[in-house]
Structure 1
């Protein structure tokens, strides 16, 4: 349960952030032992139209798509359709004969990128940056974005093969860096299953556990519930943000040709809660089994070796954590900068969607907002510290 004092504190902190124009609005949900113990919504989904955040508001997940993609990979793994030590080039031509940027000089990869490398972000694939690998990646996304709304948009497999032809930031398996690995896994799922990635997710995850609001795009009626995105205006306020980013059509108004396994989904707080409950229930929900318990245990475990962990530790606000299967995992609470428990796992998104599952306490926290360049913010950490310190 949550005591009244903690509930009031959480509401006060969220309302202060809205009043200060740190965010326009948000909703949050706390679940314990599969039962809701707290829900709160506040602020605006659309400030210009005066539409408030509601329970059925739809949010762009961005990187909170990644745990869903990892789950799809686990489905194929436990069916024996893939082996994590297989080279990605078994499925995607663009990953043959890859080159690695070593101090500005391109050298051949010492070994091929594997599916396991992708799941641990130890592949050498990155998002952006000033090095050759970052610039190559940015060039691919610039091309994807330039064709998003045209007559010949770039598809999932084509886009990922282009990423594979770019330089890697390091030799596969030798380091850790956040990047496009989840997009590549989405394409692998598409190739292995013989279905569009979105169709696979719908058939194998969304429909079985009744995630009716989660998809890569929205029909007309549902688009009316899509929350507007805001950015800092430079003067202590907020301004509307409408740009496409990482190959995602911001308005979600058409079925995309590129279905991003790293960033493309939208969902509601209740819909995503069905996904988190399934994981907390060891792979089952409502009598439907998506994954077996041993698979879930692997999915939610840290997988980095010592060398990879050293590079992950450079992400200062994730002190005390490790990483595995496209999620952070709490490894040492004494080193963390926020309250938590060993084995806690989850992830966030570029616009501020956030979740954590705490198996030891059987507690889930979900927080949804839409602000450019958000990720896990100071506000998010304040709220989780209130909740996780008082939930019993």
Structure 2
């Protein structure tokens, strides 16, 4: 199938509407089919105070779009025979031995019982019992109170993973799905197994070989002038998820380029710490789409992009925030997999593999239509507006 150029033009109009309505300060879209670029556009500003435009070389926080990169790193080590995915994480991080989880109906964090230690596979698929501080629930509240979020300014990865291990799991591993810091923990596993820092491993094994030279945990040298500000429409925390927005649209800046902790990140967050450009991230999605670019086996990637849950995410009783719909959507290793486009209620192909980030960034790979699509903006939380399903509808609607 090919694209109707006139209908692709609707994407730019849609982007401009988001900017004009003060939903996004700026944004960009990059679409490739069969490895060939078919569309790019950028609208708005990367900083509303300075008026600098949101350009193709703008550096953005990709937050949870770091997760697929880290997941590929784990699987590169797994296919070298260094561990099996059913290995307990305590084999690599001893603090996770002798785990406890909340009892059914618990009302306090001390109402726990012994449970199994999560496996690497459960960490990869968000079925480990770990959580995020912005989720509902007792474990999430304990994380919030302890300020456990793997932020760029929160010290070492080793120390933070030990702090996570000290909290009770939200449920017995493998019994539910809850979006979590599990892939941050796997970042520490990569360090233990490889003997390198997470950034050194990713640069040596993935980012460097793919030519993703402007994707790092800290803004690359000379890149501060292209680093975008981060905005929120909320009056309170930018991580308020579905909190009410003011009646009058606002764009409140919550992280300026010249004072951002991403200028010199202490923490290497495998779940949300990378910054980079849209062209860099397309190199990563194209690696996934085309079978590994010699870095990882096509068979391993095929395994990663299959559904690893018993059914869709919704069938596993999640109460958490997620970067994607839950009905009709399965989960692989590092991203979501479309099982039933009708149940997802977004134009899709069977097997679409995708994920997004807290600043409303998004990517997907369509194996049927041979597409790679990357969307960049800088607005948190990503639940603020339905930009992702709208963009998918626009792109499917432009095909003939």
| Shorter-chain TM-score above 0.5 | yes
Deviations 1:241-277 (A, max 9, x none): 1289xxxx944111x3321111000110000000000
CA-CA distance at 1:382 after TM superposition: 1.3
* Residue in structure 2 matching 1:271, options 280, 283, 288: 280
The residue matched to 2:325 in structure 1 has which SS? helix
CA-CA distance at 1:144 after TM superposition: 6.5
**Runs of 4+ with >6 A deviation:** 313-316
CA contact (8 A) 1:349 1:375 kept: no
CA-CA distance at 1:308 after TM superposition: 6.3
For residues 344-363 of structure 1, the aligned pairs below 5 Å read: 344-363=352-371
Q: Matches of 2:282 and 2:149 in 1, distance apart? A: 34
CA-CA distance at 1:378 after TM superposition: 1.3
Residue 73 (structure 1) aligns with: 74
CA contact (8 A) 2:313 2:330 kept: no
Deviations 1:187-226 (A, max 9, x none): 1001000000010000000111111111000245111111
Structure 2 spans left out of the alignment, 5+ residues = 236-245
CA contact (8 A) 1:218 1:252 kept: yes
Residue 243 (structure 2) aligns with: none
CA-CA distance at 1:143 after TM superposition: 8.7
How many correspondences in the alignment? 378
CA contact (8 A) 1:14 1:379 kept: no
Residue 187 (structure 2) aligns with: 186
CA contact (8 A) 1:353 1:375 kept: no
For residues 240-251 of structure 1, the aligned pairs below 5 Å read: 240-242=253-255, 250-251=260-261
Residue 320 (structure 1) aligns with: 328
Q: Matches of 1:68 and 1:220 in 2, distance apart? A: 22
CA-CA distance at 1:62 after TM superposition: 0.5
User: TM-score scaled by structure 1?
Assistant: 0.91
Residue 253 (structure 1) aligns with: 263
CA contact (8 A) 1:329 1:345 kept: yes
Q: Matches of 2:253 and 2:51 in 1, distance apart? A: 13
CA-CA distance at 1:176 after TM superposition: 0.6
For residues 360 and 170 of structure 1, do their structure 2 counterparts lie closer, same or farther at Cα, with a shift above 3 Å needed?
A: same
For residues 243 and 183 of structure 1, do their structure 2 counterparts lie closer, same or farther at Cα, with a shift above 3 Å needed?
A: farther
Q: Matches of 1:49 and 1:357 in 2, distance apart? A: 34
Residue 170 (structure 2) aligns with: 169
CA contact (8 A) 2:312 2:327 kept: no
CA contact (8 A) 1:312 1:322 kept: no
Q: CA RMSD in A?
A: 2.2
Residue 109 (structure 1) aligns with: 114
1:366 corresponds to 2:374: yes
CA contact (8 A) 2:99 2:115 kept: no
For residues 149-164 of structure 1, the aligned pairs below 5 Å read: 154-164=155-165
